[in-house]
Amino acid sequence: MSDFIPGQRFISDGEADLGLGTVLNSDPRSVTVLFAGGEQTRTYSVRQAPLTRVVFGSGDRIETDDGETLTVSHVEEQRGMLIYHGETRQGEARQLPESRISDRMQFHQARDRLLTGQLERNDAFNLRYRSLQHLQRIERHPAFGLSGPRVDLIGHQLYIADEVSHRRLPRVLLADEVGLGKTIEAGLILHRLLLTGRVRRALVLVPESLTHQWLVELLRRFSLEVTLLDEAQSRELDSDSNPFESGQIVLASQQWLFADEQRRQQAGAADWELLIVDEAQHLQWSPESGGDTGYECVAELAAAITGVLLLTATPEQSGALSHFAQLRLLDPQRYHDLDTFREEQHGHAAIAEAVEAVARLPEREARATIEQAAGDDSELHELLERFADASQDEHPELQRQLRRILLDRYGVGRVMFRNSRQHVGGFPERRLHVATLELPQAYRRTLRRVERDEDHLDELLLDTGLDHPDVLLYPELTFEALRHDESGEAWWRFDPRLDWLRSWLKQHPGEKALVLCHHADTALELAAGLQVLSGLHVPVFHEQMSIIERDRAAAAFADADREDGSPLLICSEIGSEGRNFQFCHHLILFDLPPHPDQLEQRIGRLDRIGQHHPIDIHVPTLAGSPGEALLMWYRDALDAFTRPHGLGSHVFEQHGDTLFDALLDRDALTALIAESRELLERTAREREAGRDRLLAHGANDEQHAERMIEAVRELDEDERLDRWLDQALEVFGIESRELDGGLRYLHPGPHMLEGMPGLIRGEEGFSATRSREQALARDDVQRLSWEHPLVREMLFRATEGSLGNAALALLEHSAIPAGRIMIEAIFRTRTSEAHHLHPARFLPPTTVRVLLDESGQELSDKVSFGGLAKSLRNIKKAAARDLIRERHELLRQLLDQAEGIAGARLTPILEAAEGDMRHSLDSELERLRTLSRRNPDVPAAELDALVAERGNLAAAIAGTRLQLDAVRVIVTVEPRR
Ligand SMILES: Nc1ncnc2c1ncn2[C@@H]1O[C@H](COP(=O)(O)OP(=O)(O)OP(=O)(O)O)[C@@H](O)[C@H]1O
C-alpha cells in the first residue's frame, strides 16, 4: 500500500474507536492520518500501516459531513479518489467526494468489525449463515407470502392470490359470491405484495360498519398492523402533516373519506402502491351524469395507484351499468364504451365450449370446436398441431396452455374473478320456512285505501315522508309515520310478527337467530317491543351506531353465555353488510328488502365459509300484504332462497318497476312471476353457456390451486424452521417452554434483545404452534411460520444488522499444528434498487462461502459449514482480540484473497439469475403480446410495464455485487485431554 493520496479515508484496524481517518499527507515511507472524530493524528510506516480503506458500494448508506444520509447508487474513481453518487433522504441526487464523509461514521461491516476486534458469539455467526441460506430458499419458494396467514387452505382463494400478485398491474375485481372469502383473497394478495416488497403502502377503504372487522381480520389472520384513520385521529396528528402518511397500511371508512373534500385531497396526495375498496357496488356512475363523490374519489385514487382491488359480491347490484362502472375504474381505456361492453358478452358461449373441449382432446369433435373458436389465431392452431404430434406425457401441459390462452384472450377472467358456491362446492343447503300471519286491521286500512284509490298513494308518500315502495313494504313505518297521537298504541303491540317471534324463541331454546329488518327504525322498535313484551334485552345492530357499539352487540350475540349474551341479534339492512355470523344458522327475515342483491347479502351473513349447518330461513309474512307479494316474487320467480345465482339484479332491472306496481295486484303479480321466471331461466341458460362458464373457468384453475395448496403445506411442514427457531431464540434471548398438545410458550428472557414483535422484556409471552389447524381452532395461539412477524424480524436482524458478522473460534484438531489460522468468509449478493420489482424471486440473497487456511488453500469443498461448526469452541473475547491484533496482516491478506475467489464465483450466479429472469419475463411478455393483439382486456400499460420491468431487473441483476457479509477466524488448538 504505497500510494496513499491525501483525502482518502481509512479506519485504523487496531483503534476502531478513533473513527474514520483522512490521509493528510504521505511520502514513500510514511503516511499521516487525521482522525478528526477523536482529534488525533497518527503516522504509520507505509509498508505496515494497519489501515483499512473505506469503500462503499451501491446500496450502502453514507453519513455526510453536513448531516445528510446518502444512499449510494454508484461509485466513480477520479485520480485515486472515490466519488459517490446517490440520493439523499429527500430523494435528491447528490455526489459526494470521499473526503466529505462524516468523521463520526460508525462501522458495522464484517471486515471492519473483525479487524477492529468487535467480535461476537459463534452461535450468532452460525445463525447468520443459516438465516441467509433459508432466505435464499424461502424467497424463491412458490408459496412465499401466502404461507403465513392464519387461513384454511382453500384452493380458489390461493389460486386468485397467486395469479393476481404475480401480475405487474394487480388491478382486479374480486367478485366471488357473497361469503366465499373476498376479504381473505384481498388480504392474501396484500400480504404477499408486502412481503415481497412490491407494495410498501396500501390504502383500504371499507364501509364504516366494516372498519373494525377489517382491522381485526388483517391483524388476526395476516399479522398486519393497520392504522385505522378517522376524523378524530386525523385531527390529533400534527396539523401540517398528511394523516394518510401516518401508517404503512391505512384503513379508512368510505363514508368519512368521501364526505370530506380536504381528506380526499390528502388521501390522493399520499403515496400508495395498492388500493383496496370493499363493497364496491355502492360506487355509482352513469355515462350521463358521471360518478357520485365516492366513485370519483376512487377513480382519482385508482388512476394514480398501480394496484387496485375492488371487492363486491354483487357486481351487478345496479345492473350491467354498475358492473361496467367498476371495470372502468380498473382500466378506463379498455372499458370506455358501455355498448361495446354489452355486445362483447354475447361471444362468450363459444369460447366456454372451446375451453371445455380442451379436456376431451384428442377427440376430433373437440379439436373442431377449438378450431372454430380459434378463428385466425395462429398460436392456437399451432398448439393444436403440436398436441396432435405430442406424446401423452406432454398432453397435460399443452392442454393447460390451450385453456389458458382461450381464457386469457377472450375471457372476462383477466380483470374479474368470480367463484360461485356451485363451483366451489361443499356448502350447506338452505331451507325456507314461511309463516303466514293475519294482516292487522291497522295496516289493512291503509292498504285497502291505496288499492281503491291510486291517488292515495301519492298522499301517503307526502304524509309519511317515506319512499315508494317502502311505504307499502314496511307497514310499521307507514303506521308510525301516520300515528300523530304519541300516546297511541305502538305498532309492535298488534303486529303478529312479534308474537310469532316470541313463540319461535320458545320453540327453539338454546338456539341463535339473526333477525333482519330493512330499516334501522324497525330494528330499534322491534327490540323495544321485545323488551316490553318479553323482558328480553336484544342487541340491535344498525348503521347509526358507533363501531364499538356494533362490535359489542355482535359479541353479545356470538357468546350467548355472557352476562349480556343474547339468542337474537336484530340488524338493519346495511348495518350488517359484510359481517360474519356463520356461527349461527337461523335467519329470520322480519321483512324483505326491495332488491334481490340485498336479499342475497342478508343470507350471505350466515351462508359463508365456515357454516357447517343447513341454513334455516324464516319469513313471517302478513297475508295479502305487499310484503307477501314480494316474497312470492322472490321465491317463485327468482328462486332467491335456494341458492345464489347472481341473476336477481338482471331480472330486477327489467321488471323491478312492474313488480312494485304489482305489489297490490295479485293478478298482475301472477303474470309478472311467470314473465320474470321465464327471463330468469333464459338468462341462466345464456350465462351458463357463456359468461358464467367462462368466469368459473377463469376464477379457478384446479391444478394450479392444488399446486399452491401443496406448496403452502410444504412450507408449513418445513422441519428446518424448528431447528432454525431453536438457534434463533437462543441468540435473541427468547425463552421457549414446551406446553401440552405440541404448543410452546415463548417469553422474553432477561437478556432478550429489544424490539422483538409481540414480546416485551418483563412481560408475558405468547403460546405458539406450528400447526395451521391448531392455530385456526384457537384464537389465543399464534402460528409460527417463516412469515410470522417474530420470525421475520429475527431473520432480518440476523442477516441485515451486524449481529454475528465477525467471530473467532477455536478448533481442536490433532492433525493440524496448534496456532494455525483459517478464515471462513461468507459473501452475499447485494442487489440494489428495484425493490418493488422483487428481484429476489430470481436472485435472493445468495451466499458464497470461502474457507481458506493459512497458506491460502481453499477448503470449502472439503469441509462443510455444518461439519466445521460442530467442532468449534468459543474463546474469551479479550484473548480473541489479542489474537486478531497479532495476525492482522495475515488476516487482511486472507480476506483479500477470499474476496478474489468469491468474486470469481459471482458471474455464474448472475448469469443463472439473469437467465431465469429472462426465461420467465420473456415468456410472459410473449404471452401478453400475443394476448394484446387479440384481447383488448390487456392494457397497453401492462405491456410497457413488463418491458420496463425486464430492463430494470436486468440492470439490478447486473449491478449486483458481492459483499463480505460475515467472517469467522478459526484458530487451531491442541485437543484437550
Ligand atoms: N381461507 C379461509 N380460512 C378461514 N376462514 C375463511 C377463509 N376464507 C373465508 N373465511 C371466513 O369465511 C367468512 C367469509 O369470508 P369473507 O368475509 O372474506 O367473504 P366475503 O366474500 O368478503 O364476504 P362478503 O361478500 O359478505 O363481503 C369470513 O368469516 C372469513 O373469515
Can you tell me whether residue 419 is helix, strand or coil? coil
pLDDT, residue 317, reads 57
- Looking at the fold, whether 803 and 918 belong to one and the same domain comes out as yes
Q: How far apart, in whole angstroms, are the C-alpha atoms of residue 856 and residue 858?
A: 6
For the ranges 427-436, 626-635, 883-892, the maximum mean pLDDT occurs at 626-635
- Cβ of 615 below 6 Å from ligand 1: no
Q: Is the pLDDT of residue 816 over 80?
A: no
- Looking at the fold, whether 494 and 534 belong to one and the same domain comes out as yes
Say which residue the cell 382486479 belongs to: 172
- Looking at the fold, whether 589 and 658 belong to one and the same domain comes out as yes
Contact 370, 356 (CB under 8 A): no
Rg (CA), the chain: 34
Greater confidence, 92 or 314?
Answer: 92
Domain end position, chosen among 301, 334, 367 = 334
Among 475-484, 684-693, 749-758, 842-851, whose mean pLDDT is lowest? 684-693
Mean pLDDT score, 348-368: 84
- Cβ of 957 below 6 Å from ligand 1: no
Q: Is the pLDDT of residue 186 over 90?
A: yes
Mean pLDDT score, 347-372: 84
> Mean pLDDT across the chain, nearest whole number?
87
- Cβ of 151 below 6 Å from ligand 1: yes
- Cβ of 178 below 6 Å from ligand 1: yes
- Cβ of 604 below 6 Å from ligand 1: yes
Domain end position, chosen among 692, 716, 738 = 692
In a domain, 172, yes or no: yes
Q: Which of 421, 571, 609, 716 to mutate to test the pocket of ligand 1 (most atoms within 8 A of CB)?
A: 609
Among 313-322, 811-820, 949-958, whose mean pLDDT is lowest? 313-322
Report the nearest-CA residue for atom 25 of ligand 1. Answer: 178
Binding-site residues for ATP sit at 176-183
The ligand 1 atom at the shortest distance from the C-alpha of residue 174 is 21
**Cα 523 off chain centre by:** 36
Q: How far apart, in whole angstroms, are the C-alpha atoms of residue 258 and residue 251?
A: 14
In a domain, 730, yes or no: no
What are 429-481's pLDDT values in tens digits? 999 999 999 999 999 999 999 888 888 889 999 988 999 999 999 999 999 98
**Peptide bond between residue 396 and the one before it cis (omega within 30 degrees of 0):** no
Q: How far apart, in whole angstroms, are the C-alpha atoms of residue 806 and residue 120?
A: 6
C-alpha pair distances (Å), 228 with each of 213, 225, 232, 258: 11, 10, 11, 16
Burial label for 551, CB within 10 Å (0-12, 13-18, 19+), is middle
pLDDT above 70 coverage of the chain, percent: 92
Mean pLDDT score, 378-400: 87
Q: How far apart, in whole angstroms, are the C-alpha atoms of residue 296 and residue 299?
A: 5
* Structural domains in the chain (count): 5
In a domain, 143, yes or no: no
Greater confidence, 550 or 649?
Answer: 649
pLDDT, residue 264, reads 95
Q: How far apart, in whole angstroms, are the C-alpha atoms of residue 847 and residue 131?
A: 11
C-alpha pair distances (Å), 711 with each of 22, 158, 504, 706: 54, 10, 48, 9
Mean pLDDT score, 524-534: 94
Q: Is the pLDDT of residue 689 over 70?
A: no
- Cβ of 158 below 6 Å from ligand 1: no
Among 187-201, 677-691, 765-779, whose mean pLDDT is lowest? 677-691
Angle at which helices 441-452 and 475-482 pack, to 10 degrees? Answer: 90
Mean pLDDT score, 151-155: 93
Amino acid at 896: D
| C-alpha neighbours within 13 Å on the C-beta side of residue 333 | 9
Mean pLDDT score, 917-935: 77
Rounded to the nearest whole angstrom, what is the distance from the C-alpha of residue 757 to the centroid of ligand 1? 27
- Looking at the fold, whether 934 and 921 belong to one and the same domain comes out as yes
Q: How far apart, in whole angstroms, are the C-alpha atoms of residue 783 and residue 321?
A: 44
What are 187-224's pLDDT values in tens digits? 999 999 999 888 999 999 999 878 988 998 999 899 99
Among 40-44, 94-98, 109-113, 782-786, whose mean pLDDT is lowest? 109-113
Contact 832, 956 (CB under 8 A): yes
ipTM: 0.97
- Cβ of 206 below 6 Å from ligand 1: no
Q: Which of 158, 159, 176, 180 to mutate to test the pocket of ligand 1 (most atoms within 8 A of CB)?
A: 180
Structural domain range at position 939: 108-120+797-977
Contact 852, 859 (CB under 8 A): yes
What are 231-243's pLDDT values in tens digits? 999 998 877 889 9
Question: Which pLDDT band, with edges at 50, 70 and 90, does 117 fall under?
Answer: confident
In a domain, 762, yes or no: no
Left if phi > 0, otherwise alpha if psi is -120 to 50, otherwise beta: which for 375? left
- Looking at the fold, whether 446 and 545 belong to one and the same domain comes out as yes
pLDDT, residue 565, reads 74
pLDDT, residue 880, reads 79
- Looking at the fold, whether 30 and 115 belong to one and the same domain comes out as no
- Looking at the fold, whether 497 and 627 belong to one and the same domain comes out as yes
Rounded to the nearest whole angstrom, what is the distance from the C-alpha of residue 742 to the centroid of ligand 1? 28
pLDDT, residue 16, reads 65
Neighbour order of strands in the sheet with 766-769: 734-738, 744-748, 766-769, 781-783
In a domain, 598, yes or no: yes
CATH number at residue 186: 3.40.50.10810
- Cβ of 418 below 6 Å from ligand 1: no
Residue 606 sits at φ, ψ, to 5 deg, of -105, -35
b or e along 514-542 (b: 16 or more beta carbons within 10 Å of the residue's beta carbon)?
Answer: bbbbbbbbbbbbbbebbeeeeebebbbbb
pLDDT, residue 259, reads 94
Say which residue the cell 352476562 belongs to: 563
Reading the block at residue 914, the C-alpha cell is 439473469
In terms of Cα–Cα distance, which of 8, 96, 94, 118 is closest to 52? 8
Mean pLDDT score, 703-728: 94
Domain end position, chosen among 673, 692, 711 = 692
**Helix H or strand E encompassing 895:** helix 888-934
Q: Is the pLDDT of residue 1 over 60?
A: no
Q: Is the pLDDT of residue 938 over 80?
A: no
The ligand 1 atom at the shortest distance from the C-alpha of residue 151 is 3
Burial label for 652, CB within 10 Å (0-12, 13-18, 19+), is buried
Report the nearest-CA residue for atom 5 of ligand 1. Answer: 151
Contact 278, 578 (CB under 8 A): yes
Other CB atoms closer than 10 Å to residue 94's CB: what's the count? Answer: 14
- Cβ of 182 below 6 Å from ligand 1: yes
- Looking at the fold, whether 192 and 175 belong to one and the same domain comes out as yes
- Looking at the fold, whether 400 and 440 belong to one and the same domain comes out as no
How many residues are there in the chain?
977
In a domain, 291, yes or no: yes
- Cβ of 578 below 6 Å from ligand 1: yes
- Looking at the fold, whether 371 and 252 belong to one and the same domain comes out as no
DSSP string, 233-287: HHHHS-TTS-GGGS-SEEEEEHHHHHH-HHHHHHHHHS--SEEEESSGGG--EET
- Looking at the fold, whether 244 and 359 belong to one and the same domain comes out as no
Rounded to the nearest whole angstrom, what is the distance from the C-alpha of residue 650 to the centroid of ligand 1? 25
The ligand 1 atom at the shortest distance from the C-alpha of residue 582 is 29
Q: What angle do CA 629, 632, 633 make, to 5 degrees?
A: 90
Contact 468, 457 (CB under 8 A): yes
Rounded to the nearest whole angstrom, what is the distance from the C-alpha of residue 264 to the centroid of ligand 1? 29
For the ranges 59-73, 454-468, 488-502, 827-841, the maximum mean pLDDT occurs at 488-502
Amino acid at 32: T
In terms of Cα–Cα distance, which of 395, 191, 227 is closest to 309? 191
Rounded to the nearest whole angstrom, what is the distance from the C-alpha of residue 179 to the centroid of ligand 1? 5
In a domain, 673, yes or no: yes
pLDDT, residue 912, reads 92
Report the nearest-CA residue for atom 16 of ligand 1. Answer: 181
CATH number at residue 496: 3.40.50.300
C-alpha pair distances (Å), 441 with each of 455, 459, 479, 622: 21, 20, 11, 11
In a domain, 473, yes or no: yes
- Cβ of 181 below 6 Å from ligand 1: yes
- Looking at the fold, whether 161 and 298 belong to one and the same domain comes out as yes
Q: How far apart, in whole angstroms, are the C-alpha atoms of residue 518 and residue 630?
A: 13
Beta strands 513-517 and 586-589: pairing type?
A: parallel
- Cβ of 608 below 6 Å from ligand 1: yes
Say which residue the cell 309474512 belongs to: 621
Question: Which pLDDT band, with edges at 50, 70 and 90, does 134 fall under?
Answer: very high
Q: How far apart, in whole angstroms, are the C-alpha atoms of residue 966 and residue 673?
A: 77
